[in-house]
Amino acid sequence: MSKNRSKKQQNRDRRKAKRASRDNSTVVPLFPPSTQETSALIPAGFEEWVSTELFSAEEVSVHGFMEQLEILLVAVAGVHPEFDATAWTMDDVEAMGSFLDFMIEKESIPVDQARVIAFSGMMLARFLTEHGRWAGDPDAPAFAQERLPAAVGLMLGTTEIGPVDEDVERAALLATQPLAQITVLLDWLGDGRPTTPNRWLKPAAARELAQALGLEMPPGRSSMSNFAPLRYLWLYAQAMGLIKVNTVRATPVRTAAEWQAAPVQALRTALTTWIDAMFPEDIDNEFSTQFYESLAAIIMAGCTNFANTRADIDGWVEKLGYSEVLVSALHSRLASSIDEGWLTLESDTYVVPDALRPAVLPAIPQLGQMPTAKDGAPFTDAPIEGELHVQIELDGVNPPVWRLLVVNSLTTLTEFHEILQTVFDWENSHLHQFTAGGRRWMDERADRRRSW
Residue type, 237: A
Give the pLDDT of residue 294: 87
For residue 338, pLDDT over 90 is answered with yes
More confident residue, 437 or 224: 224
Q: Which tens digit of pLDDT belongs to each residue from 157-189? A: 444 566 788 899 999 999 999 999 999 999 999
Conformational region of residue 163, where left means phi above 0, alpha means psi within -120 to 50, and beta covers everything else: beta
Contact 9, 2 (CB under 8 A): no
For residue 192, pLDDT over 90 is answered with yes
Give the pLDDT of residue 371: 55
- pLDDT band of residue 321 (cuts 50, 70, 90) is confident
Q: Please, what is the Cα angle at 193 between 187 and 199, to 5 degrees?
A: 115
| Over residues 354-359, mean pLDDT | 90
For residue 33, pLDDT over 70 is answered with no
Instruction: Please name the residue ranges forming H helices in 307-400.
Output: 310-314, 316-319, 324-340, 357-360
**Which range has the worst mean pLDDT, 61-65, 229-233, 258-262, 420-424?**
61-65
DSSP 19: H
The neighbouring-strand residues paired with 373 are: 283
- pLDDT band of residue 3 (cuts 50, 70, 90) is very low
Give the pLDDT of residue 161: 61
Q: Could you give the C-alpha distances from 340 to 79, 172, 178, in angstroms and in order? A: 48, 12, 7
**Any residues with CB less than 8 A from the CB of 332 and at least 6 apart, and which?**
383, 384, 385
For residue 407, pLDDT over 90 is answered with no
Instruction: Please name the residue ranges forming H helices in 131-227.
Output: 140-151, 166-175, 177-189, 203-212
| Over residues 112-127, mean pLDDT | 85
Contact 99, 92 (CB under 8 A): no
| Over residues 299-304, mean pLDDT | 83
Q: Taking all residues of the chain, what is their mean pLDDT, rounded to a whole number?
A: 78
Give the pLDDT of residue 175: 96
* 3-state SS string for the chain: CCHHHHHHHHHHHHHHHHHHHCCCCCCCCCCCCCCCCHHHHCCCCHHHHHHHHCCCCCHHHHHHHHHHHHHHHHHHHHHCCCCCCCCCCHHHHHHHHHHHHHHHHCCCCCHHHHHHHHHHHHHHHHHHHHCCCCCCCCCHHHHHHHHHHHHCCCCCCCCCCCCCCHHHHHHHHHHCHHHHHHHHHHHHHCCCEEECCCCCECHHHHHHHHHHCCCCCCCCCCCHHHCHHHHHHHHHHHHCCCEEECCCEEEECCCHHHHHCCCHHHHHHHHHHHHHCCCCCCECCHHHHHHHHHHHHHHHHCCCCCCCEHHHHHCHHHHCCCCHHHHHHHHHHHHHHHHHCCCEEECCEEECCHHHHHHHHHHCCCCCCCCCECCCCCCCCCCCCCEEEEEEECCCCCCCCEEEEEEECCCCHHHHHHHHHHHCCCCCCCCCEEEECCEEEECHHHHHHHHC
More confident residue, 3 or 348: 348
| Over residues 347-358, mean pLDDT | 91
Give the pLDDT of residue 157: 45
Q: How crowded is residue 22: how many other Cβ atoms within 10 Å of its Cβ?
A: 9
Give the pLDDT of residue 351: 92
DSSP assignment of 415-447 equals HHHHHHHHHTT--S-S--EEEETTEEEE-HHHH
More confident residue, 316 or 222: 316
Give the pLDDT of residue 173: 95
